Structure 1
Amino acid sequence: MSTQIEQAFVKHFESEVHQAYQRQGSKLRATVRSKSNIKGASTTFQKVGKGTASTKARHGQVPVMSIDHEPVECLLADYYAGDWVDKLDELKVNIDERMVVANAGAYALGRKTDELIIAALDESTNFAGADTDGLTKPKVLEAFELLGVADVPDDGDRVAVVGWKQWSELLGIKEFANADYIGQEELPWKGTQAKRWLGALWMPHSGLTLNAGVRFCHWFHKSAVGHASGADVSSDITWHGDRAAHFVNNMMSQGACLIDADGVVTMRALET
């Protein structure tokens, strides 16, 4: 009976970790192309070129577009987030230590997922504006133009992720924050801190790269970045009698890659 109880405890804990990861662990996973249940150390995303339509003679053969297919390899790596839960410590605290550790592990892995995606976005060399000022309206409009010139689809799958400093700067742009321009439903301070503007979902993120006082913000299309998961978040709990404690290990196997550089525009913003 004791063994069965222990198994139930482990399954319950793993379920809590998975739910916490899905709820608040990663902010960016749903904004990119994602493949799950990958077998092996890597997977391949296909970058598909543009097709060209042309005419044909009567009774002639239909011309073949010969669309380019460029495979982009995405490497996976294993990540762990573990901690100890002392048996007697659980008797001295008035909080659910299991839930605390579950959330901490899930959030740590979620931040790692976002780190992988951000590292892929940082490979972009399509810069809008200079890095000598903040996130201004002209810089945003230049990024908007670059996406349009590159024929990046305006199909609702564009995402712009900025730092919290830049989010504050956006709030100073009336076209971003004034209901007279965007309507009551798109105000940036209603509900969660995310909103739609210029055909994209805008959201703040605390984990964007900060290099020499310059924050790298990205405006991208969902199809431009790939995320692969060989093993989603799981947990393993073992009892160590010599420590009189459980060791809680959360783990996953994931990777991310830049598929199409044309689908990412980086807005470098100076933070002072």
Structure 2
Amino acid sequence: MSTSVAQAFVKQFEREVHDAYQRMGSKLRNTVRTKNNVQGASTVFQKVGKGTASTKARHGAVPVMNLDHTPVECTLYDFYAGDWVDRLDELKTNIDERQIIASAGAYALGRKTDELILGELNRSTNYAGASSDGLTKAKVLTAFEKLGESDVPDDGQRYAVVGWKQWSQLLGIDEFASTEYVGADELPWRGTQAKRWLGTLWMPYCGAY
């Protein structure tokens, strides 16, 4: 057997981890802007400001908006989630050990991705109220007022990540849990993965609080 065959095993395992991560790894990755196949130690996302429309005189020059472009740099980090698989041991078991480890690695990398996203969310200084009295309807409405005042578009891409305790508190709000307000198709009792309410996708997550 060629000694270089181990490299083929490693590449196969890396591909399986990558495929598993894409399918089931991160719960929050699709809620943020992403870039794939970045080469280098960092990448930049452009944050574009608002434009203003103006009138012009006949034959006059069209006024320019002078859009503000604010670059937001994102530093890349390498994270690893691997384990050892003996090819001879695979011949002695009736389970796909390599696939099990690949799936476990994908979940581990997914949790790390979500941990990094939540870490950035927790750096925010915008609050809708004190945390001592839990998540209430008043806080939800205050948060939506803040989004509106900041001109955050209501384009179906708003997300709210809450902890399981806050999810239970939301279930106590009639407007969130009652079919009379949200319709039968949007009831949270149909599944606890996510629910759309007030144009926002609410997601319970064990790492959020």
Compute the TM-score of the two structures, normalised by the length of structure 2: 0.90
After TM superposition, give the deviation of residue 23 of structure 1 in Å. 2.2
Going from structure 1 to structure 2, the CA distance change for 1:108 and 1:5 (only over 3 Å counts) comes to same
| Unmatched 5+ stretches in structure 2 | none
Q: How does 1:55-204 map to 2 (within 5 A)?
A: 55-86=55-86, 90=90, 94-191=94-191, 193-204=193-204
> Which residue identity does 2:203 align to in structure 1?
M
Moved more, 47-56 or 188-197: 188-197
The AA in structure 2 aligned to 1:109 is: L
* SS of residue matched to 1:79: coil
Q: Distance in 2 between matches of 1:2 and 1:162?
A: 52
Q: CA RMSD in A?
A: 2.2
Gaps of 5+ in 1: 209-214, 216-272
CA distance in 2, matches of 1:177, 1:36: 37
Tell me which protein shows more helix as a share of its residues: 2
Per-residue CA distance 1:85-128 (angstroms, 9 max, x = gap): 35665567553322221111111111111112112212211111
Give the structure with the larger strand fraction: 1
Runs of 4+ in 1 over 2 A off after TM superposition: 1-16, 84-96
Q: Which amino acid aligns with 1:160?
A: A
> Which residue is 1:48 aligned to?
48
* AA aligned opposite 2:65: M
Q: Deviations over 1:149-208 (max 9, x none)?
A: 111000101001101111111111111111111111111132452011011111111122
Percent of aligned pairs with the same amino acid? 74
Q: 2:49, 2:68 within 8 Å by CA — same for their partners in 1? A: yes
Structure showing greater relative contact order (alpha-carbon pairs closer than 8 Å, 6 or more residues apart)? 1
Give 1:14 deviation, angstroms.
Answer: 3.6
Give the length in aligned residue pairs.
209
TM-score, normalised to structure 1's length? Answer: 0.70
